[in-house]
Every structure is written in structure tokens, then in C-alpha cells.
């Protein structure tokens, strides 16, 4: 459960990083909300899906899979806008995959270590 919370929190932070330039460009609020929720969902998915690949690649892959339906709609009417979207998706997806893996492994190691100490303490 802690890994899921970490994934959602880091997804929210990635969403904020993605939406800030969009707000400065004065894009519509539906686009801003869509981007923010996409990154929250991507954070959740990265933290729950167990793929045996590099965490950075996992983040990029899942981010593009979640983006795909929206990218089809965006690219149909404005294909050149997909270039900055693809760049941000690659950067934030990789960072999110790496960060979730890094922070969740630290938390799990601490929990395992505490349980081990408690078990040894009860034996004595």
C-alpha cells in the first residue's frame, strides 16, 4: 500500500510539473486537467504493475501507453503539437519510473529491517 501512495504522490508531482508550462501557454483547463490526471494514473500504474524491465523504461512505456488515445485525438487535428508532448512524456515518464522505484525500495527495505529486528527481539 505504501508503494501505491508513493506512486500517486510522485504522479501528482509529475502532473504539476507538466501543467505549469501549459498554464503559462494559456492552454484550456480541460487540457490541463487531462494532463494532470494522466500523470496521476501513470504514477499509480507504475507502482502497481510488475514488469521485469528497467524502471526508467517501464515509466516511459506506461506513460506512452496511457497517452496513446489522447495522442491520436491530438495528432489528428494538430500533428506538430505531438513533438513537445512526446518530449515531456519521455522525460517525466523516465523520471517517474526511476523515482517510484527508488523511493519504494527504500521504504520496503526499512519495513523489512524493522520486522526482522522485532522478530529477533521477541526471541530473546
Percent of the chain with pLDDT over 90: 66
Model pLDDT for residues 54-93, shown as the tens digit of each residue = 999 999 999 999 999 999 999 999 999 899 999 999 999 9
Show Cβ contacts of residue 116 under 8 Å, excluding neighbours closer than 6 positions: none
pLDDT of residue 3: 87
CB 36 within 8 A of CB 56: no
pLDDT of residue 121: 36
pLDDT of residue 115: 52
Q: In whole angstroms, what is the distance from residue 95 CA to residue 98 CA? A: 5
Domain borders along the chain are 2-123
Q: Taking the model in full, what pTM does it have? A: 0.79
The arithmetic mean of pLDDT across residues 33-37, rounded, is 93
Q: In whole angstroms, what is the distance from residue 119 CA to residue 38 CA? A: 42
pLDDT at 106 over 80: no
Q: In whole angstroms, what is the distance from residue 49 CA to residue 112 CA? A: 21
The arithmetic mean of pLDDT across residues 98-124, rounded, is 58
Percent of the chain with pLDDT over 70: 85
Amino acid at each position: 500500500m505504501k508503494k501505491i501512495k508513493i506512486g500517486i504522490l510522485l504522479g501528482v508531482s509529475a502532473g504539476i510539473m507538466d501543467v505549469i508550462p501549459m498554464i503559462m501557454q494559456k492552454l484550456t483547463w480541460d487540457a490541463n486537467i487531462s494532463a494532470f490526471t494522466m500523470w496521476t494514473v501513470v504514477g499509480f500504474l507504475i507502482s502497481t504493475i510488475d514488469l521485469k524491465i528497467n524502471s526508467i523504461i517501464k515509466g516511459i512505456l506506461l506513460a506512452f501507453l496511457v497517452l496513446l488515445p489522447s495522442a491520436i485525438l491530438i495528432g489528428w487535428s494538430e500533428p506538430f503539437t505531438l513533438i513537445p508532448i512526446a518530449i515531456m512524456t519521455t522525460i517525466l515518464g523516465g523520471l517517474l519510473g526511476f523515482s517510484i522505484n527508488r523511493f519504494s525500495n527504500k521504504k520496503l527495505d526499512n519495513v523489512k529491517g524493522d520486522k526482522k529486528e522485532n522478530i529477533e527481539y521477541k526471541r530473546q
